[in-house]
């Protein structure tokens, strides 16, 4: 169990309260937990987390010690579809001998922990757990204030099989990512504006939840949370939800903004 506070007295009080009801052992300042390393810089009064040891264990486990790194975890423009899946029994048998599921699961834990930058790549690869192909190769790239800000984006019709779009969001606190997600949208968007608007709606809901959590712990956000969005149509629609012929079909739930 991790206990964190700006005041040592509060930490001591919590420890004492727990010790009254349970047998405990104080391990001192946290350095490592669940594969996550915690580093402290007392001069700068900062702390950080990483999964270097866990990442190196993945690389060694799957025999990627000599693999070349690249600037991005997935090359731009790469679209994996069901058409890329093995079509013959020989190819299927060949891929079944590879620990594909284990590898994707290991990377998913890494993406959820400290490496949001690989979330999209892992999400794409996880769609082929049942029948992966050689194209589903993993590239290891460098795996070796309380202000809340958010980023929203969408990949319109990114899935070539059913043309659904992918919503992506990132929430940062004090410049560090605290919430990130990459998911398929439930319906097919008819335009990039609609796809971005749906993603923006989900991002706003996440911001509302996070603002409430911050208020509960004494870090209330007085100013409005800034959400960065790059689609002019979605931004215009968010500011003016009046009747428009091209957007009248959008479900009311997305007008939550």
CB atoms within 10 A of CB 237: 23
The ranges assigned to domains in the chain are: 50-128, 148-256
Three-class SS state of 18: helix
Q: Tens digits of per-residue pLDDT, 158-196?
A: 888 889 999 999 999 877 888 999 999 989 998 999 999
Q: Which has the closest alpha carbon to 140: 155, 125, 160, 130?
A: 125
**pLDDT (0 to 100) of residue 229:** 93
Query: Is the pTM for the entire model greater than 0.75?
Result: no
Q: Does domain 148-256 match CATH 2.30.30? A: no
C-alpha–C-alpha distance, residues 191 and 198, integer Å: 11
**pLDDT (0 to 100) of residue 139:** 40
Beta strands 148-155 and 226-228, pairing class: parallel
Share of the chain above pLDDT 70, in %: 80
C-alpha–C-alpha distance, residues 102 and 71, integer Å: 24
> Across the strands, what pairs with 36?
33
Q: Tens digits of per-residue pLDDT, 65-109?
A: 776 666 567 666 667 666 666 667 776 676 676 777 888 888 888
Tell me the average pLDDT across 51-57: 86
């Amino acid at each position: 169990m991790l206990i964190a506070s700006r005041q040592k007295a509060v930490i001591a009080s919590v420890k004492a309260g727990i010790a009254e009801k349970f047998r405990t052992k104080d391990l001192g300042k946290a350095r490592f937990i669940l594969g996550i390393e915690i580093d402290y810089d007392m001069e700068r009064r900062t702390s950080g987390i990483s999964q270097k040891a866990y990442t190196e264990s993945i690389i060694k486990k799957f025999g990627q010690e000599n693999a070349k790194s690249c600037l991005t975890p997935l090359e731009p423009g790469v679209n994996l579809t069901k058409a890329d899946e093995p079509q013959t029994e020989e190819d299927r048998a060949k891929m079944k001998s590879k620990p594909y599921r284990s590898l994707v699961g290991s990377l998913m834990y890494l993406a959820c922990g400290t490496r949001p930058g690989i979330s999209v790549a892992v999400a794409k690869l996880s769609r082929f757990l049942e029948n992966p192909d050689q194209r589903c190769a993993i590239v290891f790239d460098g795996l070796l204030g309380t202000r809340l800000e958010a980023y929203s984006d969408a990949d319109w019709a990114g899935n070539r099989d059913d043309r659904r779009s992918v919503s992506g969001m990132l929430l940062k606190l004090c410049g560090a990512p605290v919430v990130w997600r990459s998911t398929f949208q439930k319906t097919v968007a008819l335009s990039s504006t609609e796809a971005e608007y749906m993603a923006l709606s989900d991002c706003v809901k996440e911001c509302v939840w996070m603002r409430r959590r911050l208020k509960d712990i004494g870090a209330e956000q007085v100013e409005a949370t800034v959400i960065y969005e790059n689609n002019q149509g979605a931004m215009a629609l968010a500011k003016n939800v009046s009747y428009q012929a091209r957007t009248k079909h959008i479900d009311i739930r997305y007008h939550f903004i």
